[in-house]
Amino acid sequence: MNEHDSEKVAGVLLARGYRQVESVEAANVILYNTCSIREKAAQKVYSRLGEYRFTQKEGQVIGVLGCLAQQEGERIFTRAPWVSLVCGSASYRKLPQMIAELEAGNRRVTGLETDTDETFETELTRRDNPWRAYLTIIEGCDKTCSYCVVPFTRGPERSRASASILEEVRQLADVGYTEVTLLGQTVNSYADPSARRMRFSELLVAVAEVAGIRRVRFTTSHPRDFGKDIVEAIEAVPGICEHVHLPVQSGSTRILKAMARTYTREEYIEKIELVRASKRLISLTSDLIVGFPGETEKDFEETLSLLDLAQYDGAFSFKYSPRPNTPSLKLGDAIPEEEKARRLAILNEKQREIQRLRNEGLAGQVFEVMVEGKSKRERQWSGHTSSNKVMNFTSRVEESLGDYVQVRVTGATPNSLVGDVVGE
Ligand code: 5AD
Ligand code: SF4
């Protein structure tokens, strides 16, 4: 999401005549996009801003964008007075105007409103990859997970009209994109604001049907709004990728309740059974938090047993990090840092083993892979399967980046597959 925000911001500035440069030293304007999801990410921002202070040239504008900008607001000017622009993601539409104000001699500008119901729509996005495009369909988040800053930093949910999304997908296809990833903090909570009232699963199908589009991905799905219709869409339309990212956060109903995740362990299991029962081999990935306040050894063991049950193809796991403004900040029973680290290590080790076995079980199968990279080694290439697994493969011929090839799996690691191009 943040990477794509940077692409949108770069696009807007390029359209105003700015030019992208290769290094911080060569820049007249530095816009630093930030994350504040966990404390560590937020700390990094101030240390990086500290470095910019010493390299700042006369007249060089330093701006801070993203969630930390939203969270800290004008405090950034106090802690880092060499910064002259602070703007959260809900206000990016105002960026050109803000930059114009700085050009006109204004010393400090801010964009910190989150109550806008407009989305940051722009055809001016400067995408980094010529084949795979990100596309935001819903911004903000209306869920109120008790540990999470996103509802504060990205504002309320705002969906883009389906016709406008489809128009952009057609334009992307026209210029050669074959893969699009629909983005949203809770992408499947998409609510078409237009009279068409297209459901999320219908939108997936419509995007996949655009001529030239070969792959449609979507992330992140919230379990509450995840229904059978999404699995049915994946089954019916080969272009919708066989991958669902469905964060569980914890395997304990008690902790899920304290997190305000709005589902129980059992309800979550019902959702993943929908995915696992599919005729297509849909890969399933998750996010997990260990050491939430009050998490007992028993709660943690329930998370471990959920891993056994879910058999995730991948998982991002984090130590709970207390964040400003969030309800869980007031909870007692903090788990000591060393205990969080211990639980995280156990969880990661277990998940690694699950992935190793799952990936090894794919030996002999053939998957379609988009050619995305060439290795330094002779005849070695890499790309992703529809199920979003990394495939490192051998091909005798010179492949073209962006092409699709059939690859047979010959080996596996916990995080990738190894294979050979079929039919040579
Ligand atoms: N502490 C730890 N992890 C968090 N996440 C969100 N907020 C926190 C927090 N306060 C994790 C969740 C979410 C992912 C993007 O980041 O697992 O799904
Ligand atoms: Fe944060 Fe929960 Fe919204 Fe995800 S669904 S962005 S974890 S509040």
Give percent of the chain above pLDDT 70: 98
Structure confidence by residue, pLDDT tens digits, 268-322: 999 999 999 999 999 999 999 999 999 999 999 999 999 999 999 999 999 999 9
Q: How far is the CA of 143 from the centre of ligand 2 (A)?
A: 6
Q: Is the pTM of this model over 0.85?
A: yes
Question: Among all ligands shown, which has an atom nearest to the Cα of 38?
Answer: 1
Q: How far is the CA of 144 from the centre of ligand 2 (A)?
A: 7
Question: Among all ligands shown, which has an atom nearest to the Cα of 324?
Answer: 1
pLDDT over 70 at 407, yes or no: yes
Q: What is the mean pLDDT of residues 1-27?
A: 90
Question: Among all ligands shown, which has an atom nearest to the Cα of 223?
Answer: 2
- Kindly give the number of the ligand 2 atom that is closest to the alpha carbon of 222: 5
Structure confidence by residue, pLDDT tens digits, 376-403: 888 999 999 999 999 999 999 999 999 9
Distances (CA, A) of 414 to 16, 178, 345, 385, 411: 45, 28, 15, 15, 11
Structure confidence by residue, pLDDT tens digits, 320-347: 999 999 999 999 889 999 999 999 999 9
Residue 208 half-sphere exposure toward CB, CA atoms < 13 A: 20
Residues having CB within 6 Å of any atom of ligand 2: 141, 143, 145, 148, 150-151, 185-186, 222
pLDDT at position 127: 85
pLDDT over 60 at 424, yes or no: no
Structure confidence by residue, pLDDT tens digits, 47-64: 999 999 999 998 899 999
- Kindly give the number of the ligand 1 atom that is closest to the alpha carbon of 328: 10
User: Which among 1, 67, 70, 141 is the best mutation to test ligand 2's pocket, defined by most ligand atoms within 8 Å of the CB?
Assistant: 141
With cut-offs at 50, 70 and 90, classify the pLDDT of residue 123: low
Neighbouring-strand partners of residue 382? 373, 392
Residue whose entry in the numeric block shows the structure tokens 């060089």: 60
Q: What is the mean pLDDT of the chain?
A: 94
pLDDT at position 301: 98
Q: How far is the CA of 295 from the centre of ligand 2 (A)?
A: 19
Distances (CA, A) of 41 to 34, 62, 213, 347: 8, 19, 35, 22
Q: What is the mean pLDDT of residues 123-129?
A: 80
Give percent of the chain above pLDDT 90: 84
pLDDT over 70 at 121, yes or no: no
